[in-house]
Amino acid sequence: MDLDRNSKVKKKKNKQVEHLQMENQILKKYLELKKELKK
């Protein structure tokens, strides 16, 4: 039972990390585009 809960928590954390990585990539792309527009 406890083990099951732990795996669920781990999965949740993984989802959060994936989400953060996605946001970071989007942010990088956005910044790159802004740089291009300033030229």
- Name the residue ranges covered by the structural domains of the chain: 1-39
From CA 22, how far away is CA 18, in angstroms rounded?
6
From CA 33, how far away is CA 9, in angstroms rounded?
36
Q: Give the tokens for residue 13.
A: 């954390």
Q: Long-range contacts of range 2-10, CB-CB < 8 Å, 24 or more positions apart?
A: none
| pLDDT tens for each residue of 1-39 | 578 888 998 899 999 999 999 999 999 999 999 999 987
